[in-house]
Structure 1
Amino acid sequence: MNITKKLLIAGAGAGILLAGGGVAYAAVAAPVAPKVTVEQAIDIAKKQVPGAWVRGVDHDDDGTWEVELVKGGTEHDITLDAATGKVRSNKSGTADDD
């Protein structure tokens, strides 16, 4: 009987550890909502290219906003940090026919 109690306690302990590990993994793997809103991201990007129109906006899992702007025949791809709003990159090239 003493061995049975030890096995039950060991099994319960292992179950608790596994469940806790799953919760910890879920907390780490869960996406974090950006501090910079989509409207703020668009405003920041439009300040980089005044007079441009927004073709698209995307929030990536790496914590960035990607804003695609077009002005004239030039497309601007601006990447912003979703936590701070800081411009990480501003690339431009010829706009396609979309």
Structure 2
Amino acid sequence: MANSSCSPHSWLIVTCYSSYAAFWLYHELCGGRAISFFEFELLSAPEKTPWLADAGSFVHHSSVLIIVVILALHIAAALKHQFVDKDGMLSRMLGKS
């Protein structure tokens, strides 16, 4: 059995959490706000950059669409294994060998 710490799902979780942090930082900086931590200013407020805000919005909305498509394909593949192949994959995924 493969090491679960290096599974693709683990990398997906790490990617999701790091993207939350990156988008928060992007949102704060592109909105012209300073980054502070308990009243200590870590990064001063930059000037607003509309082109960067537009690019970030495009990436954000595109990534939502991509994630929804991947989720739908993942669900379709699980249902295919359950009802077409009848190989018990869904039972193994749920821990019911």
TM-score range, shorter chain: 0.3 to 0.5
TM-score for the superposition, normalised by structure 1: 0.34
* Higher strand proportion (structure 1 or 2): 1
TM-score for the superposition, normalised by structure 2: 0.34
Larger radius of gyration: 1
* Higher helix proportion (structure 1 or 2): 2
